[in-house]
Chain A
Amino acid sequence: MTAETASADPTGPSRSAIDTTLRAILRDVLALDDGQVEGFDGDTGLFGHLPELDSMAVAGLLTEMEDRLDIVIDDDDVDGEMLETYGGLLAFAEAKTVEG
């Protein structure tokens, strides 16, 4: 599926570019160092797993994603699944980038 979206939109940001940007945002929001966010995998828990990620922090995270990834996140987009793991958030960001 990733290969298809990549070929459908060859000028869009690559999957690894989105991944890098998303890790940088989480690094800033959670005050982690690069090594720690590098260790995030698809199953790393976010909302509900990290006490720092309260609603204010998640709002900041989403607004920063809009800014740095040049996407618009609607209310309906935000659900538990999207925020639960790093993999879920990355898949969402990739889908939004292709859509945008």
Chain B
Amino acid sequence: MYSSWPCPTPDGGTGEEMMLGFDQGRTTRILLLAPLFDEANKFRRQLVEIMRRLDQNGIDSFLPDMPGCNESLARHGEQSLARWQEVAARAADHVRATHVFAIRSGSWLAPEAHAGWLYAPARPAKILRSLARARTLAAREAGRDETVDSLLEQGRTKGIELTGWELGSRLVGELETAQFEPAAAYSVIEQADIGGKPLWLRAENDVDPAQADALVALILAGLSA
């Protein structure tokens, strides 16, 4: 199930990142792109639930670590959206993906040369603001006065750590300015389409089998359309 995959490094070489895969060499092969930052943790278990269901329905699926994320040894603070996009495209090629299924901020990385589904795509500026706000709230509890604006100003020039995530200045700039628009080859699945409470809003990590069933049903319907 777990393997390593040859991930491109910034210097043009090849490194190694982890990948979770259900691979039986079947016809339909879906690359999953997990959400970034704190939502990555909130969704990990649900992603595996989705992959199990795809497997039971005769579909191979792959969940690659992006550099700096999950088990990666690369520094999170050295990553950028542009780099993750390049890596995601290489991962899709590596697993010979027939489709891509991206979740929340993972949608920003969906390779344009592929088609598939984007589940509740997030807005970059909103995600950044929420991370900065979490830090100001924690700072206030600790008796320090920080503002979202001053944190983002610092982030723009020299990078910043927000709630445990190191964000380089390039990534902060990308998150502030990127206007995410889903590529035409992707279908957008909104939370209302599958029902239930959005797992990324949960204060505590959770899993929802009924939502996993509904998501996989939508994917199966899309495949047979």
Contact = CB atoms under 8 A, between A and B. Distances in A.
B203 A52 contact: yes
A97 to B, nearest CB: 19
B126 A56 contact: no
Nearest to B137: A55
A52 to B, nearest CB: 4
Nearest to B164: A56
- What is the size category of the interface that chain B forms with chain A? 20 to 34
Interface residues of A, number: 21
B204 A31 contact: yes
Contacts of A31: 197, 202-204, 206
Interface string A47-67: 000001111111110111001
Contacts of A78: 136-137, 140
Grouping DSSP codes into helix (H, G, I), strand (E, B) and loop, the A interface class, with mixed when no group exceeds half, is helix
A28 B137 contact: no
Interface in B2-49: 38
A30 interface: yes
Nearest to B133: A59
A30 B126 CA distance: 20
Contacts, number: 57
A93 B138 CA distance: 22
A29 interface: yes
Grouping DSSP codes into helix (H, G, I), strand (E, B) and loop, the B interface class, with mixed when no group exceeds half, is helix
A56 to B, nearest CB: 5
B201 A64 contact: yes
Contacts of A25: 201
Given A63-B130, A75-B148, A29 B202 contact: yes
Interface string A1-36: 000000000000000000000000101111100000
A63 B126 CA distance: 7
Contact of A55 (B138, B149, B204): B138
B83 interface: no
B198 interface: yes
A21 B204 CA distance: 21
Contact of A56 (B129, B134, B141, B148): B134
Contacts of B202: 28-29, 31
Across the A-B interface, give the 10 residue pairs with the lowest CB-CB distance, nearest first.
A59-B134, A57-B203, A52-B203, A55-B137, A55-B138, A59-B133, A63-B130, A28-B201, A28-B197, A75-B147
